[in-house]
Amino acid sequence: NVQSLNIVSHYSQDVDSRSDAVSVAGLAAGAGGFTRNNILSSSVVTVEKDADITAQDAIVIHSQNRANKNKYSTNIHTGSAAAVSGNYLSSITHIGKQDQNFLAKVDIQDNASLISKGSAQQKGIFNVDAHANIYAQDKVKLRGVSGMSVSRAKSELLAHSNALVDL
């Protein structure tokens, strides 16, 4: 027995990447840049099987997984100048994967007993929640000055996320 129970799992990460490339030549030039971010984090709260908890006032269980990818206004910047030039740039960010989600989870296992009693004057509080928050931006910038140029730019943001309460 406890007066109140508060369990919090909060995981927060700030990630970003940047690449710059410039090339200048008389006849032929090329420039390129590549960045890749893989964010595979999870935040999990587990109440074990057969747990027996009685709180007089409140039970609060919270799981949050948060990712920010927005430090740089431009992630890749490349440019070249020549009679013939080529540029390639790619910025790829994967937040979670199909088989490994970016995850926030509260798992209350079998036969666990969680009771918030309260009283006639003050209701008991029972709050269980999970949040997966993703804030991401990506930008590539390509410049080329030439008589003939071949250029390719790719920006990819892909998220597989899940927030769940499993009872």
* pLDDT, tens digit, 9 for 90 and up, residues 105-130: 999 999 999 999 988 888 999 999 99
Spatial CA neighbour of 131 closest among 163, 156, 100, 108: 163
* Cα four-point dihedral sign 7, 48, 96, 15: positive
Residue located via tokens 């908890």: 53
Task: Convert the pLDDT of each residue in 2-61 to its tens digit.
Answer: 999 999 999 999 999 999 888 888 788 888 889 999 999 999 999 999 999 999 999 999
Phi, psi of 111 (to 5 degrees): 65, 15
